[in-house]
Structure 1
């Protein structure tokens, strides 16, 4: 049972990482979410493609984009959930920033949007888990101390969602 939870947790973490990478690509290329999804999930678009057997294909790139250990449903939900309601997430984040959202590091801006989406829409995931996941992504992909900023902003964002406020209050009552 613990092994299954660990595997599921790893697959979800991988989905968050891949969604960040996909959104980063969207931010820099302007491609549609559907086009980017097809690039991250080529097996879905190219099932039965004869070029897949090409011995000259770029296996290093394929390994870097390997989605086999990824929660694909979560990846899609994060990618499209952020893209479809970008303004909503920016509105939720903006009051908790010390500067304009446009002046944030582009990667950290995406991490905050993903975190806001998941805090709002994935109520099945404890808020502390959500925040920790995005702090870890900020450590890997953001600026040197950006993870501290991400942690503080997402904590404030979490308190702005009524169901999360109840979760935070309940956690506070049970703390020693």
Structure 2
């Protein structure tokens, strides 16, 4: 689920939260980072819980139509294609998934049911719904495509849902794009014969990624003063406020990768932090960071310091 860029973003946020200060005991700080990373899985499960609630809502909606005192022909025989959707049923009946949601107490939608109503009404009004319910052919492939389309076009971009998650946990705002992409990836791969574990992917691609997160945080944290000094030496017209800002944190992390992660090419590190700077820092930050890092890399290469190992490494 997690990619390396988002791991870097989480490390950056943790470093910034603790102002990049050094400490002999990193237990508290490391716990903060790992909790922040783990909370992404909570967001993932919360969104799948929302899909489960939408499935329930479709059933309740049809039952209410049939119980109306004055019913139209459509009310007497409501379209059940939405509630019979095979992918919805696969998600709702997945015991491992529902148990994980329950254990983590992530089904917020019982109390915050108005958000389920908002999404459900938006679906009913959509052309996607109209086209889906009037389609005569039924198949798991078409059912899956419908859920993917409503997730992409209605659920993921919904502003009210975005505000809801922001209120629940501020860091989830940054996590939503990554988690939404992960959900779509999981849904696209699902088959009727898929095991229950297919809906419960690992948070980290492998152990190396988790180790990368911890090592990047610890090594940047423990060498913060040294990196700050090295950065200052390379900047004759230094804006002192930048070192205490997000730019300073990103530069320190980049230096850590230069010096402590020999298998990561300089070019990869520079590109990653430039993209993060564009998204999270000031408009001029990427140019500033690029200039500093380029100067440092050229010095390393001329002095044969911190050489990179492997093929195609800059």
Q: What TM-score results when the alignment is normalised by the length of structure 2?
A: 0.42
Q: Are positions 1:140 and 2:279 aligned together?
A: yes
Q: Which of the residues 262, 270, 282 maps onto 1:123?
A: 262
Could you tell me how far apart the structure 2 residues matched to 1:107 and 1:99 are? 18
Could you tell me how far apart the structure 1 residues matched to 2:214 and 2:306 are? 27
**SS of the residue 1:133 aligns to:** helix
Contact kept in structure 2, 1:127 and 1:164, CA below 8 Å: no
Map of 1:68 onto structure 2: 203
Contact kept in structure 1, 2:12 and 2:250, CA below 8 Å: yes
* Alignment CA distance shift 1:36-1:157 (3 Å): same
Q: CA RMSD in A?
A: 3.9
Q: Give 1:75 deviation, angstroms.
A: 1.3
Could you tell me how far apart the structure 2 residues matched to 1:146 and 1:127 are? 19
Map of 1:82 onto structure 2: 220
Could you tell me how far apart the structure 2 residues matched to 1:166 and 1:63 are? 35
Q: Are positions 1:152 and 2:302 aligned together?
A: no
Map of 1:36 onto structure 2: 29
Q: Which has the higher helix share?
A: 1
* Alignment CA distance shift 1:69-1:90 (3 Å): same
Structure of higher CA gyration radius: 2
Map of 2:10 onto structure 1: 18
The unaligned stretches of length 5 or more in structure 1 are 1-6, 44-49
Q: Give 1:78 deviation, angstroms.
A: 1.2
Map of 1:47 onto structure 2: none
* Alignment CA distance shift 1:62-1:147 (3 Å): closer
Contact kept in structure 2, 1:26 and 1:33, CA below 8 Å: no
Could you tell me how far apart the structure 2 residues matched to 1:109 and 1:22 are? 13
Could you tell me how far apart the structure 2 residues matched to 1:25 and 1:63 are? 12
Q: Are positions 1:92 and 2:200 aligned together?
A: no
Contact kept in structure 1, 2:262 and 2:307, CA below 8 Å: no
Contact kept in structure 1, 2:22 and 2:221, CA below 8 Å: no
Contact kept in structure 2, 1:119 and 1:164, CA below 8 Å: no
**SS of the residue 1:125 aligns to:** coil
Map of 1:3 onto structure 2: none
Contact kept in structure 1, 2:227 and 2:255, CA below 8 Å: yes
Could you tell me how far apart the structure 1 residues matched to 2:307 and 2:293 are? 16
Could you tell me how far apart the structure 2 residues matched to 1:61 and 1:130 are? 29
Could you tell me how far apart the structure 1 residues matched to 2:33 and 2:307 are? 36
* Alignment CA distance shift 1:99-1:124 (3 Å): same
Could you tell me how far apart the structure 1 residues matched to 2:221 and 2:306 are? 25
Contact kept in structure 2, 1:94 and 1:101, CA below 8 Å: no
Q: Give 1:34 deviation, angstroms.
A: 2.5
